[in-house]
């Protein structure tokens, strides 16, 4: 059998490769502390679990769901956007509506590329960035154009540096704040600039807001749709995976630009049958939870951040202290590369972190730590890293 050329040309998916590498070390009897993948260890809120248990027993929910998501789910997502961001959206079904249910934000992001990108089109992708943006651009025959995220620019892309010829060919601009992997944040002033850039060049702005509820120390990340006129040029992706510890549930939504939402819906209706209705109804329970539930969880991540930052700094690593996300984006020690340092941590300390180059060429010189691990294991990881540094 010969696979399609688009498959042959795509590098192996980062996290699948890392899992295989970790498994090989574990097979040798090493106690590996996993700080690589952002999969929350905290439980899904009990109210959400209870709602799913009751909804799963309803026979009507056992049938095919609505392709675009149930009317109740779309209305609940619109209500969440109004309550949290002050953004008013039309929850009607496409093509007029501005909300669409997703089987997780990853699925929606990937399918948006298929909805918009033709062979030869350019997609502006943050680098380092979530691999799905560039990978699906290549699948479609498009050209990913890397937007370097550098520390000296607070890990924001310099849109003014995009050549005019590249901007003229671009169909999509991906942004992601709070950012994976850097933990950086963007304010409304930056989003205003990005909206103006996309309006000027007739580009759709796709904002991956998967970490919009993971703001620490009282920080509330904004939505790009808060910018006046953004709905004319932007679509935003929201996920319940990280804020509500529902990575395995596969539920999220896209909202904003009605034509983009409708185009995404066409790809989806020809590809999947939508999320399980019982999961949609349970997700609504999460979107309606009082802020205090989230704040308790955010306090856990802030404590873990402070623990790891202090330990890394004691070991000589200049770890930043981000105000959002579940990640630390740390420079590797002098004389190391991303791969060599992460490999040394795994082999000699049994600590599994993600090399920065897994997120693009501009990730070289960094490694990412995920805070989705119990405090005791984080403390042990910090001790091992410090011992290895000594």
Q: For residue range 258-273, what is the model confidence (pLDDT) as tens digits?
A: 999 999 999 999 999 9
The pLDDT > 90 percentage for the chain reads: 88
Least confident of 15-19, 129-133, 231-235: 15-19
- End-to-end CA distance of the chain: give it in Å, rounded: 51
pLDDT of res. 9: 77
Kindly indicate the confidence band of residue 182, based on its pLDDT and cuts at 50, 70 and 90.
very high
Average pLDDT on 132-159 reads: 97
Kindly indicate the confidence band of residue 14, based on its pLDDT and cuts at 50, 70 and 90.
low
pLDDT of res. 17: 72
Domain boundaries, the chain: 5-44+292-389, 46-287
| 194 pLDDT more than 90 | yes
Architecture of the domain delimited by 5-44+292-389: Alpha-Beta Complex (3.90)
| 69 pLDDT more than 80 | yes
| Cis peptide bond prior to 128, omega within 30° of 0 | yes
Architecture of the domain delimited by 46-287: 3-Layer(aba) Sandwich (3.40)
Average pLDDT on 150-168 reads: 98
pLDDT of res. 140: 95
Report the C-alpha gap between 250 and 129 in whole angstroms: 21
| 390 pLDDT more than 70 | no
* Token couple for 283: 């997700």
Average pLDDT on 290-313 reads: 94
| 127 pLDDT more than 90 | yes
Least confident of 110-119, 246-255, 338-347: 338-347
């Amino acid at each position: 059998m010969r696979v399609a050329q688009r498959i042959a040309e795509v590098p192996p998916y980062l996290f699948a490769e890392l899992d295989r590498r970790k498994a090989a070390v574990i097979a040798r009897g090493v106690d590996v502390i996993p700080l690589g993948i952002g999969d929350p260890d905290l439980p899904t809120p009990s109210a959400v679990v209870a709602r799913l248990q009751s909804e799963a027993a309803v026979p009507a929910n056992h049938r095919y769901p609505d392709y675009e998501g149930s009317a109740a789910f779309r209305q609940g997502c619109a209500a969440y956007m109004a309550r949290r961001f002050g953004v008013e959206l039309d929850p009607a079904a496409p093509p007029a509506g501005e909300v669409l249910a997703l089987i997780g934000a990853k699925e929606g992001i990937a399918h948006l590329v298929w909805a918009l990108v033709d062979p030869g089109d350019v997609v502006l992708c943050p680098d380092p960035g979530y691999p799905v943006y560039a990978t699906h651009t290549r699948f479609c025959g498009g050209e990913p154009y890397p937007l370097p995220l550098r520390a000296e620019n607070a890990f924001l892309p310099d849109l003014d540096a995009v050549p005019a010829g590249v901007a003229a060919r671009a169909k999509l601009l991906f942004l992601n704040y709070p950012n994976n992997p850097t933990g950086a944040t963007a304010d409304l002033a930056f989003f205003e600039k990005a909206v103006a850039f996309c309006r000027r060049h007739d580009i759709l702005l796709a904002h991956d807001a998967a970490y919009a509820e993971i703001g620490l120390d009282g920080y509330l990340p904004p939505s790009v749709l808060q910018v006046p006129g953004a709905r004319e040029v932007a679509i935003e992706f929201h996920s319940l995976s990280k804020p509500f510890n529902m990575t395995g549930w596969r539920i999220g939504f896209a909202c904003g630009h009605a034509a983009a939402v409708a185009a995404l819906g066409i790809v989806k209706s020809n590809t999947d049958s939508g999320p399980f209705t019982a999961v949609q109804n349970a997700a609504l329970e999460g979107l309606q939870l009082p802020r205090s539930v989230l704040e308790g969880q955010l306090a856990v991540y802030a404590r873990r951040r402070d623990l790891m930052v202090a330990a890394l700094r004691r070991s000589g690593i200049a770890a930043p202290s981000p105000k959002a996300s579940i990640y630390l984006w740390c420079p590797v020690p002098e004389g190391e590369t991303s791969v060599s340092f992460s490999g040394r941590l795994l082999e000699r300390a049994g600590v599994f972190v993600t090399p920065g180059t897994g997120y693009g060429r501009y990730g070289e010189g960094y490694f990412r730590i995920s805070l989705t691990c119990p405090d005791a294991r984080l403390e042990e990881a910090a001790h091992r890293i410090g011992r290895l540094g000594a």
